[in-house]
Amino acid sequence: MAPVVGIVANPVSARDIRRVVANATSLQVTDRANILLRVLAALRACGVADVLMMPENGGIRSHVERGLARARAQGDDLYPAIHAVAMPITGTVADTHRATREMRLAGASAIVVLGGDGTHRAVAAECGAVPIAGISTGTNNAFPDHREPTITGLATGLAVMGRVPPHIAFRGNKRIDVSINDGATTDLALVDVALVTERYIGARALWRTENFRELYVTFADPEVIGMSAIAGLLEPVARDESGGLMVRLSPAGRTPSDGATILRAPIAPGMMASIGVTDWRRMPADVAFVPEVASGSIALDGEREISFTTRDRLSLTLRDHAFRTVNVGGCMRFAAQNRLFTDAPAPVSADF
Amino acid sequence: MSENPFPLSKDDLLKAYRTMRTIRDFEERLHIDFAKGDIPGFVHLYAGEEACATGIMMHLNDNDRIASTHRGHGHCIAKGVDVHAMMAEIYGRSTGACRGKGGSMHIADLSKGMMGANGILGAGAPLICGAALAAKVRGDRGVGITFVGDGASNQGTFLESLNLAAVWNLPVVFVVENNGYAESTAMEWAVSCDSYVDRATGFGMPGVTVDGTDLFAVHEAAGEIIRRARDGGGPALLECNMVRFYGHFEGDAQTYRAKGEVEALRASRDCLVMLAERVVEAGVVARDELHRIDREVADLIEDAVRAAKAAPLPAPSELLTDVYVSY
């Protein structure tokens, strides 16, 4: 069966309050559609003939259709055939869950995701063994790499067409599983779980550092912004090493006299904040951590999602190799070394 | 009572509930009385959208101005306009907020900063730019809020106002109340950029989208946006995604809506029910306290209707008064 690539494009990421409290990007729907057209062209260039796309009413689909119509009118044959997943549209994250599930069941070879960390989290919850190729269109994105989407499309095309060996084309990723009251409620995070004292979800975003208490990250990267940056500026932990980092934060840590380390970190675009850090330590895989915070909200990948009280029992467990992503850099380096984009490809290397 | 986990005090929570309940009961009563033929003119109901007006208006004072829409009852009530005067106005009585000559779509009360509902789509946007310019020149830290629906956001007046507000860095907040339908036309058919936030971006101001049925989401986002405008940070756009429990206007057959859509929305996205359940479940407010408010609001609406019906119509001799203002 010819490989089919799924596409989940979220029209409503990068719309939250961080456009006001910080100077976060507001990526327009037309830009998202243009990104998608570039990805589609790249997939087609690699031989992908069919894509399965999540339906939405936010405008991406209609602008992509306009792009396809323009190409047809000019006689161009640049794009694969687009098939919409047959499902009702609710305009909520349930659409992402449902579309991902349908793509997995339909045998998609990979799923290209346009969105923020939250969209990627929703896809990761349902994709099973299907690898994700992430494209950042959100705010504090730490999970998807920042690169030109054409390259992500090319790498995905090469990977699903079998032009790159799987051990190079795909790589494993960590996640943190959240369990409340022995599994009565479960959720997950791809990058970070933050426990904050605000006991309401409200506008979701995190920016009031005085409310931060505990932070758990799958990777700690000083090159990103948001929660992972806080951990990354203390003790970097790579995406490809086992385990993560746990950081305890102090509301009183605003002055050196109280004993807390004062960290200045970019918690949102253009927003440097002082944060009191009490201590931090490694978070090994498969070990359940029980937070000390008694009540508040659980923020997953930078957004408040679940509020909890003193009656609730929380546990957090990091998992290595929890789901797969397309190794874009690996695919493209392999393509260059083996001249996959030249007219007469060189023989593939012996370890293929 | 448990520790309050919300960003609002118990008093403010009860006040918000009372405002939302008043809007809801006001609109439900109009729905009935309009069907009976008691009310002249046209009526557009705000039922289902109460969290938006309430969450925003909690950050305003009487010095702050708002410019409303044809669906303005909720904005009026949340801004503090007297319910008796509103009901009388809608009934076309001389005791009304505009002496009975404005009706549902022209309720105004400048003493409360309510510059008027408006029967012309998008007409409030330039008005609020003027009010905001006045506040800026006076330096009184006043802000202006204008509301538009999905349809009015396509009007030239709205787009020109976005430009003007951005160029002059006015303390204006443009609130797009997105209930999914411009009268009967779904947004995806009629909004070229498919996003109201993108419109703001195009004019160089930030835009934010929130769940307009969640009082706390609206309150938190509006608070940051209004504080920013008050402090001189300039205009912004707030899109509130919400639901409309009735038709575009009373009498609308709503053939454009799926069967069971409204019932499903009432069951799953009723902002008033959601607020009540959250504050009671958290142990901050007792159910009895909400019931007491329900009874008081019911009495208020009943009395407003009784008083309106008993009030005289405007005299024919007043036909040409209050039409123009000489400055």
Q: How far apart are CA A343 and CA B127, in angstroms?
A: 64
B195, A204: Cβ pair inside 8 Å?
no
ipTM: 0.74
Give the pLDDT mean for B201-227.
Answer: 94
Report domain extents, chain A: 4-173+323-337, 174-321
Confidence tier at A212 by pLDDT (50, 70, 90): confident
Q: From chain A, pick out residues whose CB is under 8 angstroms from the CB of B197.
A: 15, 19, 26
Confidence (pLDDT) at B154: 85
Nearest to B194 among A58, A91, A295 (CB): A58
Closest CA to B269 of B179, B149, B208: B179
Decide which of A317 and A202 is more confident: A317
Tens-place pLDDT, residues A227-279:
899 999 999 999 999 999 999 998 755 555 566 789 999 988 888 999 999 99
| Whether residue B193 has pLDDT greater than 70 | no
CB contact under 8 A, A57 and B210: no
**pLDDT value of residue A85:** 96
Confidence at residue A27, expressed as pLDDT on a 0 to 100 scale: 84
pTM: 0.84
Per-residue b or e along A114-151, where b marks 16 or more CB atoms closer than 10 Å to that residue's CB:
bbbbbbbbbbbbbbeebbbbbbbbbbbbbbbbeeebeb
Residues of B in contact with A198 (CB under 8 A): 5, 7
Q: Give residue-wise pLDDT tens across range A44-93.
A: 999 999 999 999 888 898 889 989 988 888 888 889 999 999 999 888 88
Closest chain B residue to the Cα of A60, Cα to Cα: B194
Looking at the partner chain, which of B5, B6, B207 has a beta carbon nearest the beta carbon of A26? B207
Q: What is the pLDDT of residue A344?
A: 67
Contact B198 A30 (CB under 8 A): yes
pLDDT of residue A253: 52
Q: How confident is the model at residue B256 (pLDDT cuts 50, 70, 90)?
A: confident
Token pair belonging to B189:
């058919």
**B188, A59: Cβ pair inside 8 Å?**
yes
Q: Is A93 on the interface with B (CB under 8 A)?
A: no
Examine the pLDDT at B273 and tell me if it is beyond 80.
yes
User: How far, in Å, are A45, A153, A159, B150 from residue A78 at the CA level?
Assistant: 8, 13, 19, 35
Beta carbons of A22 and A66 less than 8 angstroms apart = no
**B40 has a chain A CB within 8 A of its CB:** no
Least confident of A187-201, A256-270, B37-51, B211-225: A256-270
Which residues have CB under 8 Å from A66's CB, separation 6+?
Answer: A33
More confident residue, B102 or A206: B102
pLDDT band at A13 (very low <50, low <70, confident <90, very high): confident
Architecture of domain A4-173+323-337: 3-Layer(aba) Sandwich (3.40)
Q: What per-residue confidence (pLDDT) applies to B165? A: 97
Closest chain A residue to B4, measured at CA: A199
Q: How many CB atoms lie within 10 A of CB B306?
A: 12
Average pLDDT over residues B264-292: 94
pLDDT for the residue numbered A216: 97
Task: Tokens 């695919």: give the residue.
Answer: A331
Report which of A162, A154, A172, A61 is spatially closest to residue A109, judged by C-alpha positions: A162
Instruction: Judge contact between A228 and A250, C-beta under 8 A.
Output: no
**What average pLDDT does this structure show over B22-51?**
95
Residue A15: its pLDDT value, please? 80
Per-domain residue ranges of chain B: 10-248+259-312
Please tell me which of the candidates A15, A21, A63 has its beta carbon nearest to residue B209.
Answer: A15
CATH superfamily of B10-248+259-312: Thiamin diphosphate (ThDP)-binding fold, Pyr/PP domains (3.40.50.970)
